[in-house]
Structure 1
């Protein structure tokens, strides 16, 4: 009888920190006594053993074997151990709120034991039996440190405010942790955004993305260049070692070919930036949307006059160009049952409510009626001309006016046909909704839009191909959905409905998108 299976990876499963710290010899025997295997116990998740043997690392179903030796775990009072490391923005508020919400919903009492602000543990105790079910250990530092802990086999989940870097991804794959950009290895937990902020008494209320990048590169150093007073600009920014700081580079500075000024005062926490800026009338900061506090948010604008304001809806649809998804990265290892239940909980509506109450942007789809989108259609009329005809505008209005827009949108990486990270997560989210029958008997229309660079006919063709690609990705992901109960169509209107000005890379990126409309 074969009762084990080879684990296809070398550094697998960290969920039992205690077992990892004190690995000991064990002998596992099949219940009929016909097969025996000895080795060093590397981990146990309450259901499966992970053992280093002469045949390599093997994972064995605990229900089919008997364990003998000093390393054997207590099967009756097994306590799951889960290690979480990474972003302080996520670890300070968001993840604790989700752990507490999960406990409340699943019959666990949650007790927090804190060693410091950066190190704390949640104890989950079954309220019926009084037995300790899990210890969830948090190390709250930076995104960089989170990935370092993962690669050192000291974390089961990484909290990240940026996408994994290529070198981190390659090292994780070499260590047997799988492709951390895969559908089951990464997920967007919640949404945030990078928001320029000033003091409430600062008269500057709008800035272009290009000017904002030049301010932080030190090229614009006086408020008078932005329509403000004749005074030097004081810069506050997130530390470049934090996920938010790296997102600033990825989203704001790199597209402009600029680097952060050495004159900027950097902070480890976004709340520190907000407090510093709120007290200084000549300061500007880049803060997390969830941590603006008493400062004043500044609207992004462009030479064409369109403005993009950070709001819950514009961040959720990714219409606001400086969005910053909040990721959980999960290596290819089996979590204990409690950990798997927690991950399933984070995708449900109850968790979306917790995320919203914590001040972050949730991912629960919303339907936005046409009546609430008047400014978008005004932009369309203003942009009409020789390239976008009145007939095309009329066709767009006739098609979309009986429908509502879903807050799920899809955008592509710059210069690529690959969906960006938030959009890849949206594919899985929409696919799950289809599998659950949420849109049965309804019509979903995938609508492609483009920037205005190039001929309008070619732009519409490109937008249509992108809409078809998104529809195809969603239908492939919705493996168990009965697609005969829902209508999935595609259309495209090219550059007819711009979100931002086309005079910058940020604006063009915002305009290239696939929206989902529903009837």
Structure 2
């Protein structure tokens, strides 16, 4: 390649990045801002994604395929890569040039390593970035910023059993005892006698990291050495479904032939991993799925994929692949005598929206997901003509020594959401604070307290 040609390619790349960055600021710009993404002249991959098997096995390649279709490419195909759990998505431009994107799925931790050593431009992760990873990548910018941390889907860890196991529900405390090897026989849980066999994801897996944090570490336990470990989600699920004594944990799309059980945390009611309970992140083992991109020196194809993943078509692909899309919907909630009176009134006459607002740890500021959810919620309210006196915000929190303080803090959280929505012209019907009522997680660990600090949205 000539020096002039190389300089031209570089200038095109820089202009595209600048244009895409401008598009990320101007949220309402049309999708056409992604036309004419640069293609390397040496036919190398335009983007490399490394990380979570939960994302990389199906969802990642499907989103990449959707992006290539949106770009007008033809002859798009997904084929095996150079190693197990690696795939390559490729297509042809109208002038016959090849475009390919690589997706490697060896566990969430490998994605951050790949970002650091330059072998990938996007890290796919089924858990938030760890403090140690954040520190090791600080030269690339703040990977916890809204520009770098992208929540592309929601998922729930399903606890799966053999379909013939009659057990219907477990608490997170019982799960910890089971996977620590302290409960060894099903008869100890009220099921027919039989030795319990443990199935778990491998140490590089974000699925394992999530289970470790939400279940094991939260209860002071470690995984038993006897657990059978898997890199591949589907193989783990199939093994459990064929073992009458088996129990495992898996991402929601990989339940397959196994049976999922309801889970309770702390004083919460047992919950199955349903669409609504995962969409609101109330299900005790719900989790977010992430793409992390460098906030500086960004690859334009990485930016395009992130924006596509957030788009309505991208979220439809999320749904088609068995995960939970971040689409706002109204849901009728059955009344329950255990509900506070004001909440029963809402359940009777209003509908709850499938979005909860949560906050940065130790802060009254909305977290990265909530910032995008403000835009999603506004779109819903405008479309459904709910901007004036139709919306009720309900704040919740974790338990405090003084119940009045817990109620006040929960109402202040709801008011923080109100301030953001007021900027867009929403006039509210009511703002309610219910303190530590209706917990969705145990208050004994930070993760549970963060989940309980939430704001629900109801509409009339």
The answer to whether 1:378 aligns with 2:337 is yes
1:493 aligns with 2:428: no
Q: In 2, are the aligned partners of 1:151 and 1:172 still within 8 Å (CA)?
A: yes
Cα distance in 2 for partners of 1:296, 1:229 equals 16
Bigger RCO of structures 1 and 2 (CA < 8 A, at least 6 apart) = 2
**1:417 pairs with 363, 366, 388, which one?**
363
CA 1:77 to 1:276, structure 2 compared with 1: closer, same or farther past 3 Å?
A: closer
Corresponding residue number in structure 2 for 1:448: 395
- Indicate which of 129, 133, 148 corresponds to 2:95: 129
Task: Give structure 1 stretches of 5+ with no counterpart.
Answer: 1-23, 29-39, 51-58, 62-72, 382-392, 476-480
The change in CA–CA distance for 1:418 and 1:76 in structure 2 (over 3 A counts) is same
Residue 219 of structure 1 pairs with residue 186 of structure 2: no
| SS of equivalent residue, structure 1 residue 380 | coil
**How far off is 1:321 after superposition?**
1.2
Where does residue 170 of structure 1 map in the other structure?
135
Aligned to 2:120: 155
Structure 2 unaligned residues grouped into runs of 5+: 20-37
Whole-Å Cα distance in 1 between the matches of residues 179 and 432 of structure 2?
37
Q: Give the structure 2 partner of residue 313 of structure 1.
A: 276
Q: More deviation in 342-351 or 502-511?
A: 502-511
C-alpha displacement at 1:508, in angstroms? 5.9
Q: Does 1:405 align with 2:352?
A: yes
8 A contact 2:125–2:206 mirrored in 1: yes
SS at match of 2:438: coil
What residue number does 1:138 align with? 103
Q: What does 1:235-384 align with in structure 2 at a 5 Å threshold?
A: 235-301=198-264, 306-335=269-298, 337-368=300-331, 372-375=332-335, 377-380=336-339
SS of residue matched to 2:46: strand
| 1:97 Cα offset (Å) | 0.9
Alignment check: 8 A CA contact 1:46 1:75 kept:
no
Q: 2:370 aligns with which of 426, 434, 450?
A: 426
CA distance in 2, matches of 1:45, 1:206: 59
Residue range with higher mean Cα deviation, 324-333 or 295-304: 295-304
User: Judging changes above 3 Å, is the alpha-carbon distance between structure 1 residues 167 and 402 closer, same or farther for their aligned structure 2 residues?
Assistant: same
Pairing 1:78-227 to 2, within 5 Å after superposition: 81-109=46-74, 110-114=76-80, 115-126=82-93, 128-132=94-98, 134-173=99-138, 175=139, 177-227=140-190
Kindly indicate whether the alpha-carbon contact (under 8 Å) linking 2:52 and 2:106 is maintained by their aligned counterparts in 1: yes
Would you say the 8 A contact 2:346–2:458 is kept in 1? no
CA distance in structure 1 between the partners assigned to 2:212 and 2:430 by the alignment: 35
Relative to structure 1, is the Cα distance of residues 245 and 48 closer, same or farther in structure 2, using a 3 angstrom cutoff? same
Tell me the secondary structure at the aligned position of residue 324 of structure 1.
strand
Structure 1 residues 26, 489: CA separation in 2 closer, same or farther (over 3 Å shift)? farther
- The equivalences for 1:19-98 within 5 A come to 44=10, 46-48=12-14, 81-98=46-63
Correspondence for 1:483: 424
- The alpha-carbon distance between structure 1 residues 399 and 199, as it changes in their structure 2 partners (threshold 3 A), is closer
Cα distance, 1:341 vs structure 2: 3.0
- Please name the residue that 1:230 is paired with: 193
Please, which moves more after superposition, 116-125 or 243-252?
116-125
1:403 Cα offset (Å): 3.3
Cα distance between partner residues in 1 of 2:107 and 2:321: 20
Greater share of residues in strand: 1
Is the contact between residue 156 and residue 273 of structure 2 (CA under 8 Å) also seen in structure 1? Answer: yes
CA contact (8 A) 1:396 1:493 kept: no
Deviations 1:114-164 (A, max 9, x none): 3343333222322x43333x3212222111111111000121100001111
Deviates more, 1:335-344 or 1:151-160: 335-344
User: Which deviates the most, 206-215 or 425-434?
Assistant: 425-434
User: Cα deviation per residue 1:395-448 (whole Å; 9 max; x = unaligned)?
Assistant: 44446654322111023577x33679xx53132232355379557651443320
Q: Give the superposition deviation at 1:199.
A: 0.4
